[in-house]
Copies of this chain bind each other. A is one copy, B any other.
Amino acid sequence: MVSLRVGMIGIGFMGAAHSQGWRTAPAFFELPLEVEMAALAGRDDARTASAARTWGWSESTTDWRSLLARDDIDVIDIVTPGDTHAEIAIAALEAGKHVLCEKPLANTVEEAERMAAAAETAAANGVYAMVGFTYRRVPAATLARDLVAEGAIGDVRQVRATYLQDWLVDADAPLTWRMKKELAGSGALGDIGAHAIDLAQFITGQRLTAVSGTLETFVKERPVLAQGSGLSGSAGSERGEVTVDDLALFSGRFDGGAVGSFEATRFSTGRKNAFRIEVAGSDGALSWDLEDLNVLHHYDRNARGDRQGFTRILVTEPEHPYAGNWWPAGHMLGYEHGFSHQVVDLVNAIASGTQPTPSFADGLQVQRVLQAVEGSAEAGSVWTPVA
């Protein structure tokens, strides 16, 4: 079988998740190309070498550009912080490498536009780019998309999407790069709100055209990490400004007539990863919760009157998307399986010479929604078109 040789850039938490996807997908899915985990690039030599060994990459380097120069690398997987995505992805595409880029695509619309342009140029040459909104590939979320597409809930009218976390509830949690706008782009909005936007659009098949949004920073100053204390540094007495949002609330209008409400927050005490989405249409509704990720709830308004209700579908049957390749029915999948499914879909797209989704254009559109929310929030929440 022909090999698909992958180089990954970045060694943080997302590196572990992507590595698990590359390593595991071939064990459960028949892929048209043989995946080779060729090389890992990171900034720190020792840590990168150690990560490569732990995660199963054959080599490591501190020079990510060297991966682009190699003939024996076919795909570049980017899991670095968002402010570096544009530079790496564009260079990789120009070097003729397929690119998988972790979400959000970029920190600004301007970067995302350049990336999407580069991806369009590359695609004309059979080189493809994809952005990593993996929650699309949770089987229950994919099933939701399929049910909407086949008309199971009729015309979609309402969307309710909340992504609730609570890891900033402690007002004395230290100020990290994630709370600085220049590094992180935005706070809860871009980090987890972007997931809500993408998934809502994916499931409904509709795109947001306008938004009205509010951003709130509950804790405006946090302790600065003491000088030189590195990763394990404890907070000192100095306080610095939090320049991103703790909470993003917005309403949106979709091009198919639906209206949606969105909330992304890091201050919903007790909620660890409560990404919930409900879609209601003229003939039914669907509801999903990441904290119960194997389940999709489906309401069929055309069922017999005395038997209507939300049906709890355990999305682990052979008929369900992706599920049949794993375990028998009723055996649960977890967070990381979406990364394997992402690999499966990307490898199949590359092998067949078709554009994988979500494309960089899709990622750019999400970025434009984020920008419109920020614009609306700055303008007193007035409705703002998605440019």
Q: Is A351 an interface residue (CB 8 A)?
A: no
Segment among A58-66, A75-83, A95-103, A379-387 that sits at the interface with chain B: A379-387
Q: Is A108 an interface residue (CB 8 A)?
A: no
Asked if A313 and B306 sit within 8 Å, CB to CB, the answer is yes
Q: Which of A285-306 contact B (CB under 8 A)?
A: 285, 290-294, 298-301, 303, 305-306
Cβ of A167: which chain B residues have Cβ within 8 Å of it? Answer: 328-329
How many copies, total? 4
Q: Is A27 an interface residue (CB 8 A)?
A: yes
How many residues on chain A are close to B (CB under 8 Å)? 92
- Distance A331 CA – B26 CA, assembled complex (angstroms): 23
What's the minimum C-beta distance from A245 to chain B, rounded to whole angstroms? Answer: 11
- Distance A311 CA – B310 CA, assembled complex (angstroms): 5
- Distance A69 CA – B309 CA, assembled complex (angstroms): 50
Cβ of A274: which chain B residues have Cβ within 8 Å of it? Answer: 330
Q: A169 is contacted by which of B16, B294, B301, B307 (Cβ under 8 Å)?
A: B301
- What string of 1s and 0s marks CB contacts (under 8 Å) between A313-332 and chain B? 11011011000000111111
- Distance A257 CA – B26 CA, assembled complex (angstroms): 47
Q: Which of A130-188 contact B (CB under 8 A)?
A: 143, 147, 153, 157-158, 160, 162, 165-167, 169, 171
- What string of 1s and 0s marks CB contacts (under 8 Å) between A1-43 and chain B? 0000000000001001101100110111000000000000000
A19 — nearest CB in chain B belongs to which residue? B27
Asked if B247 and A158 sit within 8 Å, CB to CB, the answer is yes
Q: Is A261 an interface residue (CB 8 A)?
A: yes
Segment among A113-121, A227-235, A263-271, A361-369 that sits at the interface with chain B: A263-271
Asked if A320 and B307 sit within 8 Å, CB to CB, the answer is no
- Distance A93 CA – B321 CA, assembled complex (angstroms): 43
Q: Is A54 an interface residue (CB 8 A)?
A: yes
Asked if B158 and A272 sit within 8 Å, CB to CB, the answer is no
What's the minimum C-beta distance from A200 to chain B, rounded to whole angstroms? Answer: 14
- Distance A301 CA – B13 CA, assembled complex (angstroms): 26
Q: Is A47 an interface residue (CB 8 A)?
A: no
Segment among A84-92, A236-244, A334-342, A352-360 that sits at the interface with chain B: A334-342
Cβ of A263: which chain B residues have Cβ within 8 Å of it? Answer: 160, 261
Cβ of A17: which chain B residues have Cβ within 8 Å of it? Answer: 327
What's the minimum C-beta distance from A270 to chain B, rounded to whole angstroms? Answer: 3
Q: Is A221 an interface residue (CB 8 A)?
A: no
Q: A311 is contacted by which of B268, B271, B280, B309 (Cβ under 8 Å)?
A: B309
- Distance A19 CA – B333 CA, assembled complex (angstroms): 16
A23-B27, A282-B169 given; A331·B267 CB < 8 A:
no
- Distance A294 CA – B330 CA, assembled complex (angstroms): 14
Asked if B317 and A313 sit within 8 Å, CB to CB, the answer is no
- Distance A294 CA – B153 CA, assembled complex (angstroms): 25
Asked if A268 and B291 sit within 8 Å, CB to CB, the answer is no
9 tightest CB-CB pairs across the interface, nearest first? A272-B330, A273-B330, A270-B299, A334-B334, A331-B335, A212-B381, A309-B313, A269-B285, A269-B280
User: Can you pick out 10 interface pairs between chain A and chain B where the beta carbons lie within 8 Å of each other?
Assistant: A268-B278, A269-B280, A269-B281, A270-B280, A270-B284, A273-B331, A291-B330, A305-B317, A310-B311, A327-B335
Known: A298-B309, A310-B312, A311-B311. 19 other contacts (CB 8 A): A13-B327, A16-B27, A16-B28, A17-B327, A153-B269, A160-B263, A214-B251, A247-B259, A251-B381, A269-B280, A273-B329, A273-B332, A274-B330, A306-B317, A307-B311, A309-B314, A332-B334, A334-B334, A379-B382
